[in-house]
Structure 1
């Protein structure tokens, strides 16, 4: 290689000692040893292993079937999967930029040249067969940092998909519990309406016999119509929850039907939930992993911006044959070749490189703040659900006792009314108390199931395996 061609490369190698120092995100703060809400969480079973499909712990085959349909039909998941494919393509493109490029070509040119003496033109043919190679030497780590940023973005997109899937699965489970609770509330209102109808008939009979006032009949009819109105509202709520499930599954609401089960016993029993450890939360929540990967990508962008202050170094070469005939084109007399190195660096850019570097650092600081906020939000969610889980358990026991007392009281008051010792106002109050107590009991069961669902989600979700090298 001629010495003049080696000069730019030699200069670049001498400057290599000034390579950009890669920027690294700040170290993570150590998580607390336990959650504060764990102190009040009595239902702990550390020996229980939570599967990735945590909803199976509720032992509901219908819910299991809906979850299987979710991962196939949910359109938000389909869009996130496309984003993963796009990020994978960007990663592979950045990896390919590190390697030399090679291109080949062939061409044939026919040209005419006018002669000055007689005005005749000479026609000639030129055929060529060439190969060209080029390679940018990554002395300052710009391309390597680009691969790192693209790899982190790819991991973030994978974690986003996992987080979206986890959220969709938890939302589906919660919607399913709400729907089953609405069915149980509907069954309660239907039973109550039937009981109120019998009470109305009783008061009408007593009024006809002259042993009850007309106000008793009016009060009984008012209660019946009120419950019938509530029943209509509950049917609407159940239908809307069914429509929400259909949308989550990627189906038209009008073409989706979930068989009704109005038996209160159909509400799943609470599964044993193991203890939550903050370090496990940090390791398994995909939204935290996505925020951390974006932080890594943002710091890699600092290296890319800083590398722009240094000259770019590239090698190039070409070889081929050129002649007038294809038959003897590939021969020594027709051989052409060239090889060289080049160094290029902008001298004046109006501060664009400095601004790009400052912007990259600001973006990295924003990514760090976003990461910390995601961690704080995750810890808040767990603490909230630990409290709700514990308090809903205590509330459930109290509501069950209140319901049993209200039922006994209603039986006593009805017997007293039939005996004529109390007015229908007492019956009305007892019926309202019984209805409210059983409705509160169902709501408490639903809240406890929802809290357990969200806690199990944090233990059941799994991060995708790292694919940054793909």
Structure 2
């Protein structure tokens, strides 16, 4: 055993000394890109506060530079129902579970790469053989039988062997370490893909819940209008029977009622589809949408203080940008791998074992075998394949760099679009609130004039149609404020860096 320990110790020391010489890393070192040197997300001037409107959901929103983004930003809507849906989604979502498993796979691949590349490969082997030797055979150690074939002596013997073999690739030019860098970049990529999946899931749950609440309100408004118009149609028919109105007015009322009724099925279809989508997001089947609570816009609170990260920080906050950077770094590592393949590879090999023709004596003191040596492998001619592989790695690096640039541009576009949307939503809601108030006042006046005989029934129908449209538009404008507020948190990265998990 001491012989083995001494031989392996010498082998390990040689490997460590030679490994310490392998500080050379061919190929470029990756340098993280600098943040874009811009000061604004969108063209100034930019208001610090949005417009306000009376009523629920009409509060003014203020943009606060460098405000901390909570990892649980959806709680700012103060909706226990949405909070519960988020918890269900984070627990049951198949996409999130798949992203976690993919990250674990990348981590284990990294561990395997480190084990295979940075540590010696040691294996044990035990063999038992039976063979023959024709001609002269003499061995004091051999347990053999001597036979005669055509007058030539033939010895049949047994051979037992137990050995431990070790080999170690000396990473002189850093090809192994570049491979490990690439695997580490893959781990980072999958980590940020998990963060992106987390952000996408939570954002989709919030926006889908807002859509359901908006459609629910629109359905309620439409049903109320149908009831009111049906009652008016009954009154008009009685007046027609008494000769008070013409048939044209009856037909006009019937037409308006039919149009309002026709608007209801598309709303109900969209509402049902949104509930099906939300059921999928929380990990349930569409038929199990009973797990989706009833949602109403009145239950939501509009956040009045909105964070606004400085542009230079956005590229470190967006998980999709960080994922693209990780792929870029992985492509950079592959250039080093392809470059290292052009240079010689050095391997140390060693073994220690026991051998005997008698199995019971295999571990005896007289049967020691050991060897130590090295090998050099240098590609001489591969038809230009190695150089082509390096050029391909450089091209892949350029692709990853361009894709990173594209993701960064899209990230800034997302923030710019969302900021403009929030500002425009506030002005739209104020205008829709004014339009709804004006349409209601106009309907009241026209109705009074109609009862006094001052206007025709067609004028009353037109006033009712205008008021109906403004009520629906006001609901849509309010929902847009909530949805685009959620979109801003998503565009800014969702605060994952403030999460404890």
TM (normalized to structure 2)?
0.86
2:293 alignment counterpart:
259
**Partner Cα distance (1:19, 1:232) in 2:** 66
Report if aligned partners of 1:160, 1:290 keep a CA contact under 8 Å in 2. Answer: yes
1:431 alignment counterpart:
464
Superposition map of 1:214-293 within 5 A: 214-257=247-290, 258-261=292-295, 264-293=297-326
Say which of 112, 115, 122 aligns to 1:93: 112
1:182 alignment counterpart:
215
1:418 to 1:264, Cα distance in 2 relative to 1, 3 A: farther
3-state SS of the aligned residue for 1:333?
coil
1:17 to 1:93, Cα distance in 2 relative to 1, 3 A: closer
Q: Deviations over 1:174-216 (max 9, x none)?
A: 1111111000000110111111112212212222222211111
Kindly indicate whether residue 384 of structure 2 is the aligned counterpart of residue 378 of structure 1. no
**Deviates further, 246-255 or 131-140:** 246-255
**Partner Cα distance (1:226, 1:207) in 2:** 21
Report if aligned partners of 1:389, 1:452 keep a CA contact under 8 Å in 2. Answer: yes
**Partner Cα distance (1:17, 1:265) in 2:** 65
1:109 alignment counterpart:
129
**Partner Cα distance (1:223, 1:324) in 2:** 105
Superposition map of 1:192-231 within 5 A: 192-231=225-264
2:494 alignment counterpart:
460
Superposition map of 1:125-204 within 5 A: 125-204=158-237
- Where do 5+ consecutive residues of structure 2 fail to align? 1-6, 50-60, 134-146
Say which of 52, 64, 67 aligns to 2:83: 64
**Partner Cα distance (1:425, 1:371) in 2:** 60
1:19 to 1:83, Cα distance in 2 relative to 1, 3 A: closer
3-state SS of the aligned residue for 1:327?
helix
Q: CA deviation at 1:21?
A: 4.5
What's the RMSD between the two structures over aligned residues?
Answer: 2.7
1:464 to 1:91, Cα distance in 2 relative to 1, 3 A: farther
1:16 to 1:210, Cα distance in 2 relative to 1, 3 A: closer
Q: CA deviation at 1:77?
A: 2.1
1:301 alignment counterpart:
334
1:151 to 1:94, Cα distance in 2 relative to 1, 3 A: same
Superposition map of 1:287-366 within 5 A: 287-366=320-399
**Partner Cα distance (2:404, 2:498) in 1:** 19
**Deviates further, 194-203 or 300-309:** 194-203
Q: Deviations over 1:403-437 (max 9, x none)?
A: 01111111221222222221111111111111111
3-state SS of the aligned residue for 1:354?
helix
1:118 to 1:334, Cα distance in 2 relative to 1, 3 A: same
Q: Deviations over 1:443-465 (max 9, x none)?
A: 11111111110112225331599
**Partner Cα distance (1:70, 1:102) in 2:** 46
1:396 alignment counterpart:
429
Say which of 23, 28, 44 aligns to 2:34: 28
1:120 to 1:463, Cα distance in 2 relative to 1, 3 A: farther
Q: CA deviation at 1:164?
A: 1.8
1:23 to 1:237, Cα distance in 2 relative to 1, 3 A: same
**Partner Cα distance (1:152, 1:279) in 2:** 23
1:74 to 1:167, Cα distance in 2 relative to 1, 3 A: same
Say which of 95, 106, 124 aligns to 1:76: 95
**Partner Cα distance (1:63, 1:460) in 2:** 16
3-state SS of the aligned residue for 2:161?
strand
1:37 to 1:78, Cα distance in 2 relative to 1, 3 A: farther
Report if aligned partners of 1:58, 1:271 keep a CA contact under 8 Å in 2. Answer: no
Q: How many positions carry a matched residue from both structures? A: 459
**Partner Cα distance (2:189, 2:170) in 1:** 28
- Where do 5+ consecutive residues of structure 1 fail to align? none
3-state SS of the aligned residue for 1:362?
helix
**Partner Cα distance (2:27, 2:226) in 1:** 76
**Deviates further, 324-333 or 276-285:** 324-333
1:55 alignment counterpart:
74
**Partner Cα distance (1:20, 1:120) in 2:** 61
Q: CA deviation at 1:229?
A: 1.5
**Deviates further, 181-190 or 94-103:** 94-103
Shift >4 Å, 4+ stretches: 15-19, 116-121
Report if aligned partners of 1:159, 1:463 keep a CA contact under 8 Å in 2. Answer: no
1:40 alignment counterpart:
47
**Partner Cα distance (1:222, 1:142) in 2:** 78
Report if aligned partners of 1:37, 1:387 keep a CA contact under 8 Å in 2. Answer: no
Report if aligned partners of 1:162, 1:463 keep a CA contact under 8 Å in 2. Answer: no
1:124 alignment counterpart:
157
Report if aligned partners of 1:286, 1:463 keep a CA contact under 8 Å in 2. Answer: no
1:72 to 1:95, Cα distance in 2 relative to 1, 3 A: same
3-state SS of the aligned residue for 1:294?
helix
**Deviates further, 290-299 or 455-464:** 455-464
Report if aligned partners of 1:410, 1:434 keep a CA contact under 8 Å in 2. Answer: yes
**Partner Cα distance (1:321, 1:235) in 2:** 82
**Deviates further, 441-450 or 315-324:** 441-450
